[in-house]
């Protein structure tokens, strides 16, 4: 089935907007303006979880700057995504990231691979809601649970009303608010320590060897070295197979534009992290007792807490309002992405109703938004660390979806048996390592806690797909990539 054709003329755009076309809802008519595209592609990662998680990691004595991998790790993922994945995906005119799986392995296997994709988006949404809840808690004085519930209700309601184009334009406002609001606050929070250089000197004294952006050889060869490398690969490679990223790629007017947007967004990710880093440094070195201010109850709220108490009232108002607005607008794209995948790759292929019009599609997607939003809210109430959720959401995506997407796009012999075998191996090995965030213990005898479980699981799954696919070609021949089998939103 093909979703209604979308043309580029202004009259057609007006008609699409008026009728709420499914093409506009999911991919903004594949004609997103380049300037807007830069902002919305950057906002793939830069949002509430990103800015709050960055400050949290920098301020936390158990992590420090050396473990702040996400900003430059995600920047690398955008560069790699633009170089190797964006052009191919956009050239083939796919509608979602799961299309290659549906074409090559069938609708049931695509539905299976939707599960880790969904979990990743849900955890990412949870991280954003946690950041939103902590920000509102500081600004309005609400407790954490109440803040999360209010934030979730507003964000889900807002998301259900608009499609990708609405998300894209709010991303422009979002990034502007973050950059201006936080940049205004930085000079004041560092001035409370005697300026930038004084703050940095205090941070180095307090944090020791973790006050470095990149580790030295001694650190790499130490017991934490493998864990650090594992985390780098987790974000650099695990940041690629996300529907929230490919939704932007597939909405670009051309493959070339999709590639350019990815490269520019990589630079944007680095720039947007700088204010949060300095706020985290100020939070880590502040003498709260001397300032007669209670110490922050959790590092997860360090960014709004520092802005609230270490800047003048007018600056605090501007900064916190900007952060709240930014976080509010960043949850919508993740929830929309998960709902889009559900409609296109789960509901559509299995539905007996082959006459789905735009109105029906919109209702299905909106129902998905509600379900994803509620699930993300429940998780955010249980796990209150933004940075933990940040890593957790990338974990399963890296372990399972990166090898699957890479092989589906670039291994001509990849087949369904290989994909399912790789899926089982990756999941089994990763779950066997346990997950402290959910107090889930390990049941496989890995050497120690520093063993790179995630990368080991990912590589094992990737090699399994290759080996099994080649061994089973006679009984399950590979299928070439083409959008003709599932239809697409036309150019």
Q: Encode pLDDT of 229-245 as tens digits.
A: 999 999 999 999 998 89
pLDDT of the residue at 444: 92
C-alpha–C-alpha distance, residues 238 and 342, integer Å? 21
Exposure of 389 by Cβ count < 10 A (0-12 exposed, 13-18 middle, 19+ buried)? buried
The torsion angle over the Cα atoms of residues 386, 387, 391 and 394, rounded to 10 degrees, is 50
Q: Which residues contact residue 18 at a Cβ distance below 8 angstroms, ignoring those fewer than 6 apart?
A: none
Mean pLDDT of 46-74: 88
Mention every residue, 6+ apart, whose C-beta is less than 8 A from residue 428: none
C-alpha pair distances (Å), 200 with each of 12, 19, 54, 278, 464: 55, 55, 16, 9, 47
Helical (H) or strand (E) element with 256? helix 255-285
Closest CA to 45 of 337, 316, 281: 337
- How do residues 408-432 score in pLDDT, each as one tens digit? 999 999 999 999 999 999 999 998 9
pLDDT given at position 448: 82
Residue 128 is encoded by which pair of tokens? 């954003």
Proportion of the chain above pLDDT 90, given as a percent = 34
pLDDT of res. 95: 87
- The whole-angstrom separation of Cα 451 and Cα 444 is 12
DSSP 340-406: HHHIIIIIHHH-S-----HHHHHHHHHHHHHHHHHHHHHHHHH---HHHHHHHHHHHIIIIIHHHHH
pTM, full prediction: 0.84
Distance CA(148)–CA(281), nearest Å, equals 26
- Asked whether 383 and 59 are in contact (CB, 8 A), the reply is no
Residue 158, pLDDT above cutoff 90: no
Secondary structure of residue 435 in the 3-state scheme: strand
Tell me the per-residue pLDDT of 429-456, one tens digit each, with 9 for 90 and over: 998 988 776 677 888 999 887 889 999 9
pLDDT tier at 7 (50, 70, 90 boundaries)?
A: very low
C-alpha–C-alpha distance, residues 344 and 224, integer Å: 42
Question: What's the CA gap between 159 and 335, in Å, rounded?
Answer: 8
78: nearest Cα among 230, 214, 235: 235
Upper half-sphere CA count for residue 247 (Cβ side, 13 Å): 31
pLDDT digits (tens, 9 = 90+) for 117-145: 888 888 777 777 776 776 666 666 667 77
CA distance 10 to 461: 47
Residue 9 pLDDT more than 80? no
Question: In the structure encoding, which two tokens stand for residue 433, read together?
Answer: 């390592």
Average pLDDT rounded to a whole number, residues 362-387:
78
Out of 158-162, 175-179, 188-192, least confident range: 158-162
Residue-wise pLDDT tens digits, 198-211: 889 999 998 988 88
Q: Give the number of other Cβ atoms within 10 Å of residue 106's Cβ.
A: 16
| pLDDT reported for residue 197 | 85
Q: Could you read off the pLDDT of 261-311 as tens digits, one per residue?
A: 999 999 999 999 999 999 999 999 988 888 888 888 888 889 888 998 899
What per-residue confidence (pLDDT) applies to 136? 66
Which of 21-25, 33-37, 399-403 is least confident?
A: 21-25
Q: Give percent of the chain above pLDDT 70.
A: 83
Only one residue has tokens 């650090």, namely 228
Radius of gyration of the chain (CA): 22
Q: Which domains does the chain have, with CATH numbers?
A: 20-382 (1.20.1730.10)
Read off the pLDDT band of 490 (50, 70, 90).
Answer: very low
Distances in whole angstroms, Cα of residue 2 to Cα of each of 6, 18, 23, 354: 11, 20, 10, 10
pLDDT value of residue 484? 54
Strand pairing partners for 440? 435
What's the rounded mean pLDDT across residues 377-395? 69
Q: Which residues of 327-343 are buried (b: 16+ CB within 10 A; e: fewer)?
A: bbbbbbbbbbbbbbbbb
**pLDDT tens for each residue of 313-341:** 898 888 877 777 666 656 667 777 888 88
Beta-bridge partners for 435 = 440
Identify the pLDDT of residue 308: 87
Tokens 């880093």 sit on residue: 277
Residue 414, SS3 per DSSP: coil
DSSP assignment string, 257-300: HHHHHHHHHHHHHHHHHHHHHHHHHHHHH--TTTTT-PPPS-GG
């Amino acid at each position: 089935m093909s979703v209604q054709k979308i043309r580029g003329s202004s009259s057609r755009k007006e008609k699409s907007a008026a009728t709420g076309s499914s093409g506009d809802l999911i991919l903004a008519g594949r004609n997103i303006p380049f300037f807007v595209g830069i902002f919305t592609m950057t906002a793939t990662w830069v949002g509430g979880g990103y800015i709050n998680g960055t400050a949290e990691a920098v301020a936390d004595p158990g992590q420090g700057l050396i473990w702040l991998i996400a900003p430059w790790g995600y920047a690398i993922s955008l560069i790699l995504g633009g170089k190797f994945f964006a052009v191919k995906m956009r050239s083939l005119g796919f509608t979602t990231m799961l299309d290659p799986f549906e074409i090559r392995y069938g609708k049931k296997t695509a539905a299976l691979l939707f599960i880790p994709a969904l979990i990743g988006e849900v955890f990412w949404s949870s991280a954003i809601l946690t950041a939103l809840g902590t920000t509102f808690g500081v600004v309005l004085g609400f407790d954490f649970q109440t803040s999360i519930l209010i934030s979730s209700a507003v964000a889900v309601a807002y998301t259900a009303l608009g499609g990708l184009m609405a998300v894209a334009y709010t991303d422009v406002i979002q990034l502007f608010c973050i950059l201006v609001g936080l940049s205004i606050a930085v000079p004041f929070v560092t001035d409370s320590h005697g300026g930038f250089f004084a703050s940095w000197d205090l941070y180095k004294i307090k944090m020791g060897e973790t006050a470095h952006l990149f580790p030295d050889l001694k650190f790499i060869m130490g017991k934490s070295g493998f864990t650090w490398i594992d985390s780098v690969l987790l974000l650099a490679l695990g940041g690629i197979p996300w529907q929230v990223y490919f939704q932007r790629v597939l909405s670009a007017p051309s493959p070339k534009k999709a590639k350019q947007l990815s490269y520019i967004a990589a630079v944007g990710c680095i720039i947007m992290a700088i204010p949060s880093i300095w706020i985290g440094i100020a939070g880590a070195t502040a003498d709260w007792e001397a300032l007669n201010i209670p110490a922050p109850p959790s590092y997860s709220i360090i960014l709004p807490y520092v802005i609230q108490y270490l800047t003048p009232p007018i600056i605090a108002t501007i900064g916190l309002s900007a952060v709240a607005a930014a976080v509010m607008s960043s949850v919508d794209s993740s929830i929309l992405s998960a709902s889009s995948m559900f409609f296109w790759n789960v509901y559509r292929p299995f539905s007996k109703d082959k006459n789905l019009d735009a109105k029906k599609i919109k209702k299905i997607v909106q129902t998905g938004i509600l379900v994803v939003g509620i699930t993300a809210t429940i998780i955010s109430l249980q796990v209150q660390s933004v940075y933990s959720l940040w890593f957790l959401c990338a974990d399963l995506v890296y372990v399972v979806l990166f090898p699957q997407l890479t092989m589906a796009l670039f291994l001509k012999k990849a087949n369904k048996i290989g994909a399912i075998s790789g899926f089982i191996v990756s999941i089994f090995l990763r779950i066997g390592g346990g997950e402290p965030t959910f107090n889930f213990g390990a049941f496989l005898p890995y050497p120690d806690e520093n063993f790179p479980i995630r990368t080991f699981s990912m590589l094992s799954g990737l090699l399994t797909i290759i080996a099994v696919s080649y061994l089973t070609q006679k009984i399950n021949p590979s299928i070439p990539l083409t959008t003709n089998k599932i239809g697409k939103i036309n150019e």
